[in-house]
Structure 1
Amino acid sequence: MSKVLANVNGKSITENDLDFLLSTIPPQQAAAYSNPEAKQGLLEELIAHELFYFEALDNNIEEDETFKKELELTKEKLIKSYAISSYLMKAEVTEEDAKAFYDENPQNFKENLQYGASHILVDTKEEHDEVLAAITSGESFEDLAQKHSKCPSNEKGGDLGFFAKGQMVKEFDDALEAMAVNEIKGDVKTTYGYHIIKLTDKKPENTLAYGDVRDKIKNYLLQGKQNDMFVNKVEDLKNKYNVEYIK
């Protein structure tokens, strides 16, 4: 049983109540309530709400006409939301549905050829030639990238990580296509400047395993089923209840 933190007019406020309030706060803000003083402030807020609640009951708020209208509107919204969500919860995607979609749509699960590469980008041919000569003489590619490259990747020694074929500009892509792993190639001119490229790895085109995409497939199919269910149900209900469009 959750620990009781306070009693207000006979009603208990527990640690679970406090935890629930914290769960409604964005994580960045909730972190600020990790110390005892901040939690005490939240407890005081819960106590204040209960105090207003009991005073409202004492003042017969349920007989107030404005409150009655607000309550009816809130009730109507809740009924609509609950009715729709309850109906859509009936949608189901089986393992067979998901596997069939995977088998029938192999093109959706292909990963293009991927390159792992680093580069050094400079503005002029003269600087390019100086850096390339330094690499040829045995200086570290990564150190030279940090010192000379104008690309933000310079902080990581020129490392661009992995990217799919076709993601880079054509001249860069064409150079990679002709390179072997660990090869360094200069004189790659693009609109950005002069590149010296180092191909660090190459991942061939492959098909993602069913287990890696199973959950995504199920979510995709579920959304589709729920959308169809909603549209069809609305059409059925239009036949059951009168809908009049007024122009």
Structure 2
Amino acid sequence: MSKTLATVNGKTITDADIDVLLSTLPPQQAATYSSPEARKNILEELIAHELFYFDAQDNNLEEDEGFQKELEIAKEKLMKSYQIGSLLRKVTISDEATENFYNESPENFQEQPQFSAKHILVATKEEHDDLMKQLDEGADFSELAKNHSTCPSKDRGGDLGTFAKGQMVKEFDDALETMEVGETRGDVKTTYGYHIVQLTDKTGGRTIPYEEVKDKIKQYLLTNEQNELFVNKVAELKSKYPVLYMD
């Protein structure tokens, strides 16, 4: 049960009233009001609002012409938003529909693989072949990269770090996809030159489980169906109420 913090002319203000007010603020802003002193300041603000409310009643504000105009505008806005909300709330998405969407579009739930790799980049096939021969004879990959690669990664022994599929040129990605971790492969030709690639790690490339994405799928389907319902309802209402476009 919410704790009563104050009464104003018999009207109760509780802890819950403060929480409701804070819930309307962005999370970062609301967090600044977590201290007892800050909540006390909010309480004083709520008290002030109630005082003005009772003062407005005593001064017959409801009969004021300006207030009546503002009230009509507010009423119109509320009716619009409430009517739209009532329409959209009719849309529900079943677990069956969500699961069907997942099963029928598996391509949407493939996690891109992540690669970790090193490479040596040279301009000519002759340089490439010479370096491949040295690697076959037991030369250290990182040392060769430092001494011969034209890529800035040579300063890290050719280490490119970790990256997702699609971040490198297609020929590079294609080679990595068919390689085993620890494998070194040459003859990877791109517009940059000749690459010798060493795959040091590979993760991902899995199908994301249904349980991880079902909430997102349901929200996606809900939004789509609500949009379709809204558009169709507007078309229906346009046939009922005249709409004139002015040039």
Q: TM-score, normalised by structure 2?
A: 0.71
Residue 134 of structure 1 and its aligned partner are, at CA, apart by: 10
Match of 1:243 in 2: 243
Q: What is the number of equivalent residue pairs in this alignment?
A: 225
Q: Tell whether the 8 Å contact from 1:93 to 1:221 is kept in structure 2 after alignment.
A: yes
Residue 45 of structure 1 and its aligned partner are, at CA, apart by: 1.1
Q: Does 1:132 find its partner at 2:142?
A: yes
Provide the rounded CA distance (Å) in 2 between the counterparts of 1:191 and 1:64: 77
Provide the rounded CA distance (Å) in 2 between the counterparts of 1:103 and 1:175: 30
1:138-172 CA-to-partner distances (Å, cap 9, x unmatched) read xxxxxxx9xx65xxxxxxxx7844x4322224575
Residue 246 of structure 1 and its aligned partner are, at CA, apart by: 3.3
Residue 213 of structure 1 and its aligned partner are, at CA, apart by: 2.6
Match of 2:31 in 1: 31
The worse-fitting range, judged by mean Cα deviation, of 174-183 and 46-55 is 174-183
Q: Tell whether the 8 Å contact from 2:115 to 2:164 is kept in structure 1 after alignment.
A: no
Identity %: 58
Q: Structure 2 unaligned runs (5+)?
A: 121-139, 147-152
Match of 2:114 in 1: 115
Match of 1:222 in 2: 222
Three-state SS of the structure 2 residue aligned to 1:33 is coil
Instruction: Map 1:72-83; keep pairs closer than 5 Å.
Output: 72-83=72-83
CA spacing shift, 1:198–1:110, aligned 2, 3 Å: same
Provide the rounded CA distance (Å) in 2 between the counterparts of 1:189 and 1:49: 72
CA spacing shift, 1:95–1:243, aligned 2, 3 Å: same
Provide the rounded CA distance (Å) in 2 between the counterparts of 1:61 and 1:118: 74
Three-state SS of the structure 2 residue aligned to 1:244 is coil
Q: Does 1:59 find its partner at 2:59?
A: yes
Provide the rounded CA distance (Å) in 2 between the counterparts of 1:120 and 1:10: 77
The worse-fitting range, judged by mean Cα deviation, of 70-79 and 36-45 is 36-45
Residue 205 of structure 1 and its aligned partner are, at CA, apart by: 4.0
Provide the rounded CA distance (Å) in 2 between the counterparts of 1:179 and 1:3: 65
Match of 1:20 in 2: 20
CA spacing shift, 1:171–1:101, aligned 2, 3 Å: closer
Residue 77 of structure 1 and its aligned partner are, at CA, apart by: 0.6
Three-state SS of the structure 1 residue aligned to 2:246 is coil
The aligned amino acid for 1:4 is T
Instruction: Map 1:90-239; keep pairs closer than 5 Å.
Output: 90-112=90-112, 114-117=113-116, 132-133=142-143, 149=156, 160-161=161-162, 163-169=163-169, 173=173, 176-177=176-177, 180-182=180-182, 199-203=199-203, 205-239=205-239
Match of 1:42 in 2: 42
Residue 203 of structure 1 and its aligned partner are, at CA, apart by: 3.6
Match of 1:127 in 2: none
Q: Structure 1 unaligned runs (5+)?
A: 122-129, 137-144, 150-157
Provide the rounded CA distance (Å) in 1 between the counterparts of 2:81 and 2:161: 47
Q: Tell whether the 8 Å contact from 1:117 to 1:197 is kept in structure 2 after alignment.
A: no
